[in-house]
Amino acid sequence: MKLIKSIVRPNKVDDVKGALEKLQISGMTVTEVRGHGKQKGHTAIYRGQEYNVSLLPKMEIEIVVPDSIVHDAIKAIMEAARTGEIGDGRVFVLPVEETYKIRTGEKEVY
């Protein structure tokens, strides 16, 4: 099992969700986040005065998927979130060692 953590443009969340649902991946955590990557934000001007907008609003989508569909899931996310412009985001893949169901206390080890 892998945890796939994607940072995407806010307006791409629905597209990414749609693409993942096609792979029968429906469980996910979506969080509003702010940050920057290589893009490092930029300086905006409002009424002649500069202000720093280095932390850009992005969305983070987390899913945990079996190893067998990790690559399909990554591909689906990348395709759905891509515009080709700077600021499209990142995908991180992390191994998942164990998970617990809080309701039942059941432990799953991979």
Residues at the contact surface with another protein, assessed by CB under 8 A:
9-12, 14, 32-34, 44-50, 53, 57, 83, 85, 87
Tokens for 4?
Answer: 């796939």
Q: Which is nearer to another protein, 56 or 69 (CB)?
A: 56
74 closest CA partner among 39, 33, 25, 108: 25
Q: Which is nearer to another protein, 2 or 9 (CB)?
A: 9
Structural contact between residues 4 and 90, judged by C-beta atoms closer than 8 angstroms: no
Cβ at position 89, least distance to another protein in Å: 12
Cβ at position 93, least distance to another protein in Å: 25
Backbone angles phi, psi at 48, to 5 degrees: 80, -10
